Amino acid sequence: MQILPGEEEIQDLLLCQLNTSCQKQVRSRNESALVYTALSFVSLLTVLLNMLVLISISHFRQLHTPTNVLIFSLALADLLVGAQMIPLDMITRSNPCWYLGRLMCALVPYTSTVSTFSSVWNLALISVDRYMAVCEPLLYPSRVTMRRTILSSVLNWICSVIYCGCFLMDHLGNSNAYDSCTGLCVFIYLPNSGIVDLLVSFIFPFGIIIILYVRIFVVAISQARSIKFNSLNTDLMKKSKSERKAAKTLSIVIVVYLLCFTPYFFSSFFYNWSSQINMIWIYQMNSCLNPLIYAFFYQWFKKSVKCIITLKILQPFSSELNLM
**189-208 average pLDDT score:** 78
Give the number of C-alpha atoms closer than 13 A to the C-alpha of residue 49, restricted to the C-beta side: 23
Q: Would residue 209 count as lying in a domain?
A: yes
The set of residues, in sequence order, having a beta carbon less than 8 Å from that of 166 and lying 6+ positions away, is none
Better-predicted residue by pLDDT, 23 or 289: 289
pLDDT in tens, 228-260: 555 555 555 556 566 666 667 777 877 887 787
Residue 84 maps to a domain: yes
Q: Is the pLDDT of residue 147 over 90?
A: yes
pLDDT of residue 7: 45
Binning pLDDT at 50, 70 and 90, where does residue 190 land?
A: low
Asked whether the predicted pLDDT for residue 265 surpasses 70, the reply is no
Q: Residue 59: its pLDDT value, please?
A: 92
Distances (CA, A) of 316 to 168, 264, 308, 311: 48, 46, 14, 11
Query: What is the number of structural domains in the chain?
Result: 1
Cα separation values, 253 from 101, 124, 247, Å? 36, 12, 10
Determine the structural domain holding residue 115 and report its residue range.
Answer: 31-312
Q: Say if residue 99's pLDDT is above 50.
A: yes
Q: Identify whether 273 is part of a domain.
A: yes
User: Has residue 324 been placed in a domain?
Assistant: no
pTM: 0.80
The pLDDT tens digits of the residues spanning 101-114 come to 777 777 777 888 88
* CA–CA gap between residue 321 and residue 305 (Å, rounded): 13
- Average of per-residue pLDDT values in the chain: 76
Name which of 39, 18, 119 is nearest 77 in CA terms.
Answer: 119
* DSSP SS3 for 98: coil
Q: Is residue 51 over pLDDT 90?
A: yes
Q: Do the Cβ atoms of 131 and 52 come closer than 8 Å?
A: no
pLDDT on residue 230: 58
H helices within the chain, ranges in order? 7-18, 29-59, 66-80, 86-94, 101-135, 140-143, 146-167, 169-173, 191-198, 204-229, 234-269, 273-297, 299-309
pLDDT > 90 in the chain, percent: 19
Kindly state whether residue 21 falls inside one of the protein's structural domains: no
Average pLDDT over residues 207-236: 72
62 within a domain of the structure (yes/no): yes
Q: Is residue 25 part of a domain?
A: no
What CA–CA distance (Å, rounded) separates 181 from 184?
6
Q: Measure CA 204 to chain center.
A: 17
Q: Read off the CATH number of the domain in which 62 is found.
A: 1.20.1070.10
Tell me which amino acid residue 212 is. L
Query: Does the residue 248 lie in any domain?
Result: yes
Query: What pLDDT score does 278 carry?
Result: 59
